[in-house]
Amino acid sequence: MKTAIVTGASGLIGSQTTEFFHNKGYRVIGIDNDMRAYFFGEDSSTKDSNDALLNKFENYIYFNNDIRDYASLEKIFQEYSASIDIIVHTAAQPSHDWAAKEPLTDFSINAMGTMNMLELTRLFVPKATFIFTSTNKVYGDTPNYLKGIKENNLRWECYDEQNNLFEINEQMSIDNSKHSVFGASKVAADVMCQEYGKYFGLNVGIFRGGCLTGPNHAGAELHGFLSYLVKCILNNKPYTIFGYKGKQVRDNIHSYDLVNMFWNFHQNPKPGEVYNAGGGRNNSTSILEAIQTINRLAGTNWDQFTLSDDNRIGDHIWYISDLTKFKSHYPDWDITITLEDTIKQMITFEKQKNLLN
């Protein structure tokens, strides 16, 4: 039986990866020590998610290990090296606001934790595929200085010199910008992943995610805006929008479609290649637009939001991923779950959770 190692296995992308690869006939080694509860509080703990994986999948094996602990990871690689076919590294400190509180913790997890996984892959399973979930924050605040950004009624939008709608591709520089501490630690990991692909020849793919989302996303105020917004609206709780008049735009990709990108890459890996991985233009929304959509789909009339004039440091005014490069390399892949369907799933999930509680 082939083995997939998934770090951050209890999180949104990790749990989706576990299900996807288990359904493909893999044994899945899940590594997760529930740091999310430390970052965002017990309400954001992934313990229940991990328990669900253990109950649902017979070939899921769980290790409560810290990716910063090289020795404990080494034992896993030693034990399963004969069957490891793919490593999907999703574990991270994911919030650029939280990172500023504990920069050493952030860097040790995002940069050094990634180094541990890369080096163990090189030493024990150099022919395996290695997937790294990077972030669009590696571009820093460079997107904010695009000349074509204009303010519309409910969103900021960006146009090229011919006044055509624009998306961001992988040619944008990651240098000489304000990244946030989180963005900088992910840059370090992103570049090292490229190096292990291009220098050592490992089958490393780097996926620079936009907003990664799905119904079981444990959104918090400082991370996972769409999930947290659904939670606030359905529970009639207040929500603060930080800066940009609530018109800031993100493209959202459902966790299934992202993991399917990983699968397509795994069929024909291109060492050290970088891909922007978001929902694209059709799955983009501003916060104001998202509020309208959620209210319409949930049958609510929620308006308990406050607009703060202070935007988050290094935050994007507008960001939509150009998916052309990945689609050209892997033409069988495409987005399959719309933003509206994703929000419907989130609403259903939150209502069911409320009934259980």
pLDDT at 236: 95
At residue 341, the pLDDT reads 97
Give percent above pLDDT 70 in the chain: 98
The SS3 assignment for 277 reads strand
DSSP letter, residue 110 = I
Q: Residue 219: pLDDT above 70?
A: no
Q: Are 268 and 328 in contact (CB under 8 A)?
A: no
Residue 85: name the closest of 194, 203, 197 by CA: 203
Residue 120 in this model has a pLDDT that exceeds 90:
yes
Rounded distance between C-alpha atoms, residue 101 and residue 99, angstroms: 5
- b (16+ CB within 10 A) / e for 252-287: bbbbbbbbbbbbbbbeebebbbbbbbbbbeebbbbb
Task: For residue 96, name the pLDDT band (cuts at 50, 70, 90).
Answer: confident
Task: Give the per-residue pLDDT at 279.
Answer: 97
Q: Are 283 and 340 in contact (CB under 8 A)?
A: no
Q: Regarding predicted confidence, which is higher, 357 or 44? A: 44
pLDDT digits (tens, 9 = 90+) for 342-352: 999 999 999 98
Average pLDDT (67-76) is 98
Q: Is the pLDDT of residue 221 over 90?
A: no
Q: Is the pLDDT of residue 61 over 70?
A: yes
Question: What local confidence, expressed as pLDDT, does residue 218 receive?
Answer: 66
pLDDT of residue 97: 84
| Apex 315 CA angle, 107 and 285, nearest 5 | 120
Domain spans of the chain, in order of start: 3-356
Please tell me the distance from the alpha carbon of residue 14 to that of residue 88, in angstroms, as a whole number.
8
Residue-wise pLDDT for 171-197, tens only, equals: 999 999 999 999 999 999 999 999 999
Mean pLDDT for 270-277 is: 98
Q: What is the mean pLDDT of residues 319-334?
A: 98
To the question of domain 3-356 being in CATH 3.40.1280.10, the answer is no
pLDDT the model gives residue 220? 64
Instruction: Give percent above pLDDT 90 in the chain.
Output: 87
pLDDT tens figures, 224-266? 689 899 999 999 999 999 999 999 999 999 999 999 999 999 9
CA 121 to chain centre: 22
Which residues, 6+ apart, have CB-to-CB distance to 239 below 8 Å? 228, 229, 232, 233, 304, 305, 306
* Cα Rg of the chain (Å, integer): 19
pLDDT at 352: 87
Per-residue pLDDT of 129-161, as tens digits, reads 999 999 999 999 999 999 999 999 999 999 999
Q: Considering the entire predicted model, what is its pTM?
A: 0.95
Whole-number Å distance between alpha carbons of 171 and 306: 36
Q: Select the more confidently predicted residue: 25 or 218.
A: 25
